């Protein structure tokens, strides 16, 4: 076959794909109609995870698994939008890393609502102004996002998912070279992730903290002596050149985001559960609470303490582990923990990233 033959073959395949996608969309609309009549949730994340995981498992290539996930994320997003766009709140403004994580999780056809603060994202979900919210919870180099953990103590939202996003920080500026930059601005976490690079290449330049990486990009778009530490998405949306790419100090810089909602997720077979608890201030208290995990060989993926802010030196422990609360093994372990804890709360079970 020559080049024209192959192009003709691709055209035929594209037509077949379009026809099949429209058939799939029609089936999705019928399902949506049945759900409305039975008053069922129109978005079921565990079903979405099941679809994508099955396709990745069955994939024979040459498409890599990441491409399959990205393609079906948009197909699923488009199918939902036929019924009603999913409202998703996120820590804004547009082009923050949280915005990227929301796009990665829900696809580009969701109805995204930027919020000014992490607390505003929680409130949007709590007050039913959004079905889901996306908030950062920890960075691989800078650690936990305390505002998110603190809000989880009192909020009645449930954890419905997680997103892991590689964080590539770039220096954006309209300045033609580094010598003309007078100020570097960004979110405190972004600046911390580039601390060594900034000290080595811009040692005498003032560093200014702003509300977000996107806000920094907006400032750099207006003032040519300002450099912003931000993403390539921010560079494109705010039309600011990338003066120096990949300035993060760690090549393995990534951030974990949580998806919050109001409906409990069912098991998918590849799940994670998050809990929090407080305990008595006595020897062996933590060991007694954590021992059931070891006895049942449940893998702990995170453990972190935070002050309750109610009593001095009173703490709660956040624990993430592999497994779903509705399975018999996990349910038995959680029952044992509840017996030994002063305060105990299941934050949610959800598909693991």
Per-residue pLDDT tens, the chain, 353 aa: give them: 899 999 999 999 999 999 999 999 999 888 888 888 887 777 777 888 889 989 999 999 899 999 999 999 899 988 888 878 889 999 988 888 899 999 999 988 899 999 999 999 999 999 999 999 999 999 888 888 989 999 999 999 999 999 999 989 999 999 999 999 999 999 998 999 999 999 999 999 999 999 889 999 999 999 999 999 999 999 999 999 999 999 999 888 899 999 999 999 889 888 999 999 998 878 888 899 999 999 999 999 999 998 877 777 778 999 999 999 999 999 999 999 998 898 999 999 999 88
Please report whether residue 187 resides in a domain: yes
Q: Measured over all CA atoms, what is the biggest interatomic distance in the chain, rounded to whole angstroms?
A: 78
Looking at the structure, do residues 345 and 268 belong to the same domain, yes or no?
A: yes
Q: What is the pLDDT of residues 74-127, one digit of tens each?
A: 999 888 888 788 899 999 888 888 999 999 999 888 999 999 999 999 999 999
**96, 148, 213, 255: which is the annotated catalytic residue?**
255
Whether residue 257 lies in the annotated active site: yes
Last residue of a domain, one of 193, 220, 252: 252
Measured over the CA atoms of residue 300, residue 188, residue 190 and residue 252, the dihedral's sign is negative
Considering its fold, how many domains does the chain have in total?
4
Quick check: bond before 70 cis, omega within 30?
no
Q: Which of 257, 293, 318, 321 is catalytic?
A: 257
Same domain? 346 vs 268: yes
Q: For the segment 232-246, what is each residue's pLDDT rounded down to a tens digit?
A: 999 999 999 999 999
The rounded distance, in Å, linking the Cα atoms of 296 and 115 is 41
Residue 256: per-residue pLDDT: 95
Residue 119 falls inside a structural domain: yes
pLDDT reported for residue 67 = 94
The dihedrals phi and psi of 73, each to the nearest 5 degrees, come to -60, -45
Domain end point (choices 121, 142, 167)? 167
Question: What is the bridge-based pairing of β-strands 206-209 and 183-186?
Answer: parallel
User: Do 70 and 98 belong to one domain?
Assistant: no
**What pLDDT is stored for residue 315 in this prediction?**
84
Residue 328 lies in a domain: yes
Do the domain assignments include residue 257? no
Q: How far is CA 51 from the centre of its chain?
A: 19
Q: What is the CATH number of the domain that holds 233?
A: 3.40.190.10
Residues 157 and 180 in one domain: no
Q: Is residue 258, in this structure, part of any structural domain at all?
A: no
DSSP, residue by residue, 163-201: EEEE---EEE-SSSSGGG--EEEE-HHHHHHTHHHHHHH
In a domain, 60, yes or no: yes
Residue 92 lies in a domain: yes
Which residue's entry shows tokens 């931000």? 230
Same domain, 302 and 246: no
Shared domain for 344 and 287, answered yes or no, is: yes
Are residues 181 and 237 located together in one domain of the fold?
yes
Report the distance separating Cα 240 and Cα 234, nearest Å.
Answer: 8
> Is residue 160 domain-shared with residue 175, that is, in the same domain?
no
Instruction: Tell me, yes or no, whether 259 lies in a domain.
Output: no
Are both 327 and 275 inside the same structural domain?
yes
pTM, two decimals, is 0.83
Same domain flag for 160 and 185:
no
Closest alpha carbon to 350 in 290, 277, 265: 265
Q: Specify whether 74 is located in the same domain as 90.
A: no
Strand order from edge to edge, sheet including 315-322: 300-307, 315-322, 271-278, 343-351
Domain finish residue from 84, 99, 124: 84
| Domain co-membership, 204 together with 236 | yes
CATH code at 285? 3.30.70.260
Query: Bridge-partner residues for 128, per DSSP?
Result: none
Range of the domain at 102: 86-167
Residue 230: predicted pLDDT: 95
């Amino acid at each position: 076959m020559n080049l024209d033959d192959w192009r003709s073959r691709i055209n035929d395949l594209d037509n077949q794909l379009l026809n099949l996608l429209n058939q799939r969309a029609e089936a999705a609309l019928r399902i949506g109609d049945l759900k409305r009549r039975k008053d069922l949730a129109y978005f079921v994340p565990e079903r979405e995870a099941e679809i994508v995981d099955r396709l990745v498992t069955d994939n024979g290539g040459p498409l890599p698994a990441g491409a399959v996930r990205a393609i079906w994320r948009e197909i699923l997003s488009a199918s939902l939008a036929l019924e009603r766009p999913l409202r998703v709140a996120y820590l804004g403004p547009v082009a923050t890393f949280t915005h990227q994580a929301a796009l990665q999780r829900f696809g580009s056809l969701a109805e995204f609502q930027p919020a000014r603060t992490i607390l505003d994202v929680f409130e949007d979900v709590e007050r039913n102004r959004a079905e889901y919210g996306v908030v950062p919870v920890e960075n691989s180099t800078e650690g936990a996002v305390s505002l998110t953990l603190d809000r989880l103590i009192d909020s009645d939202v449930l954890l419905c998912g997680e997103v892991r996003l590689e964080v590539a920080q770039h220096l954006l500026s309209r300045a033609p070279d580094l010598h003309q930059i007078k100020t570097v601005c960004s979110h405190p976490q972004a600046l911390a992730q580039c601390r060594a690079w900034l000290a080595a290449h811009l040692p005498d330049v003032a560093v200014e903290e702003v509300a977000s990486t996107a806000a920094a990009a907006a400032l750099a778009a207006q003032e040519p002596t300002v450099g912003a530490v931000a993403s390539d998405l921010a560079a494109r949306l705010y039309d600011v050149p990338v003066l120096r790419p990949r300035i993060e100090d760690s090549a393995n810089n990534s951030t974990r985001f949580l998806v919050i909602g109001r409906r409990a997720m069912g098991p998918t077979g590849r799940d994670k559960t998050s809990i929090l608890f407080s305990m008595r201030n006595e020897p062996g208290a933590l060991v007694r609470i954590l021992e059931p995990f070891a006895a049942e060989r449940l893998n702990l993926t995170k453990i972190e303490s935070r002050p309750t802010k109610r009593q001095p030196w009173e703490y709660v422990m956040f624990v993430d582990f592999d497994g779903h609360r509705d399975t018999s093994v996990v349910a038995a372990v959680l029952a044992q923990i509840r017996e030994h804890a002063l305060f105990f709360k299941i934050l949610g079970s959800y598909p693991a990233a």
